[in-house]
Structure 1
Amino acid sequence: MASSSRSSSSSSEGILARVSNTVSQSPVLYRGRQVASDAAYVTKRLLKSTGNAAWFAGTTFLILVVPLIIQMDREQQMNELELQQASLLGAPPAAPSK
């Protein structure tokens, strides 16, 4: 009886090993791994390109747009100061130019 339980366990291990071996060498599994690897590569490249584009856009914004915003704010403050001074001196208020 002990030998029959051994042979059944060894035969079940043989079946599991064969099934596992067959599945691991399956062309479908190989193709799936290849597709997953390709997808990971494309995703990595896409993220790198997106990061480069974000860096380019951010630095361009800082160099070109932020100084423009600061200058426009200064100009608006100067216009408001001129209007305030004109009203203190008693000049009629001028319509704000746009």
Structure 2
Amino acid sequence: MSVLGQGKHGGSAANDDGRSIVARLSGMSDATKRVAKEAGYVSKKLLKSTGKAAWLVGTTFLILVVPLIIEMDREQQFNELELQHQSLLGSRAAPLPPPPK
């Protein structure tokens, strides 16, 4: 049941009892408060561990994968340059092996 976005006239019949949000929250039982507190704690721990995992994956990617991508790009450029030189100079036939004696 959401109370956000509801004006004086937009509330449901259950919310028209005139109590404020603070009054409703203060009326929660101890078990409900404990569950809410534990849910917040678990959420905080999950967010923290997710951040650590993202940092680990990101730095590993930068250290291992980015240099590999750069080297592959250089190799591709070198191969294209060789093909361009061969097309400009004309392809030379490979030398024939010497005849058997």
Q: TM-score, normalised by structure 1?
A: 0.65
Question: What one-letter code is carried by the residue in structure 1 that aligns with 2:77?
Answer: Q
Q: Name 1:13's counterpart in structure 2.
A: none
Instruction: Give CA-to-partner distance per residue, 1:66-95, whole Å, 9 cap, x none.
Output: 000000000000000000000000117xxx
Q: Name 1:46's counterpart in structure 2.
A: 46
Q: TM-score, normalised by structure 2?
A: 0.63
Higher RCO, 1 vs 2 (CA within 8 Å, ≥6 residues apart): 2
Distance in 2 (alpha carbons) for counterparts of 1:45 and 1:79 = 50
Distance in 2 (alpha carbons) for counterparts of 1:85 and 1:40 = 65
Question: What one-letter code is carried by the residue in structure 2 that aligns with 1:29?
Answer: S
Are 2:74 and 1:74 aligned?
A: yes
Distance in 2 (alpha carbons) for counterparts of 1:90 and 1:65 = 37
Alignment of 1:1-98 (within 5 A): 24=27, 29-91=29-91
Question: What one-letter code is carried by the residue in structure 2 that aligns with 1:81?
Answer: L
Distance in 1 (alpha carbons) for counterparts of 2:90 and 2:67 = 35
**Structure 2 residue ranges without an equivalent (≥5):** 1-22, 93-101
Distance in 2 (alpha carbons) for counterparts of 1:69 and 1:29 = 57
Structure 2 counterpart SS, 1:41:
helix
Q: Percent identity?
A: 65
Aligned residues: 68
